[in-house]
Amino acid sequence: YGGFEVSLTPGYIAVPGAGWLERGGCFVQPNIRGGGEFGPSWHQAALKENRQKAYDDFIAVGEDLIARGITSKSRLGIRGGSNGGLLMGNMLVQRPDLWGAIVCAVPLLDMRRFNKLLAGASWMAEYGDPDTEDWEKFLQRYSPYHNIDAEIPYPPFLMTTSTRDDRVHPYHARSMVKRLLDVGNVRGNELYYYENMEGGHGGAADSKR
């Protein structure tokens, strides 16, 4: 996740557990800088202009898994949502060669406009203020939408969002997919988009309740 001092601690997760581990897969949960796993300083190490450290940590984990023979690039899939979706967006544009597939859920991806949409203004202490020199100094470097390169092939990519998300506006997901469609360089044309009409930032709602 790598943000907002959120700690991802060990525990059983049903979907990868039953759907992946029990079929012989391997599941890794990196504790990268920006999270809270090792205290406040771990979070503060990846704030604002230091955000790239979180992405460098995640890349290092992927490279290590391959170096140790645990997996290969073609079999290494990654997933993240919300701030973790921003992480996934940056993994797509920064190291498209390292991943076999990416799932990006309810993400923020346009760091030029994030503070104008829904709860975005409350995240400037974490990311910076794009209406100041922060944009040119560092924010544009980790704004996935602004770093798509038409000359680079990207791995298979699934984007999911929610129409009624009241935290991260679905604009982020929609605009990123539109941009990827425009450049047309996702490997095998495997670009998928799913927008849930119900529920919110946390996922689907039961329409019967």
105: exposed, middle or buried (Cβ count in 10 Å: 0-12, 13-18, 19+)? buried
Q: Hey, is 82 helix, strand or coil? A: coil
82 catalytic per annotation: yes
- Using DSSP, state whether 99 is helix, strand or coil: coil
Which one of 43, 82, 143, 162 is the catalytic residue?
82
Q: State yes or no: is 169 an active-site residue.
A: no
Give the type of residue at 61. V
Classified as helix, coil or strand, 61 is helix
Judge residue 149's burial from the number of C-beta atoms within 10 Å of its C-beta, 0-12 exposed, 13-18 middle, 19 or more buried.
exposed
Q: Residue 192: how many CA atoms within 13 Å on its side-chain side?
A: 13
Q: Of 41, 175, 201, 207, which residue is the catalytic one?
A: 201
Q: What is the tally of helices (H) and strands (E) in the chain?
A: 7, 4
Contacts (Cβ under 8 Å, ≥6 apart) of 184: none
Measured CA to CA, the distance from residue 147 to residue 103 in angstroms comes to 18
User: Nearest-5° angle of CA 109, CA 47, CA 121?
Assistant: 55
Which residues are annotated as catalytic?
82, 201
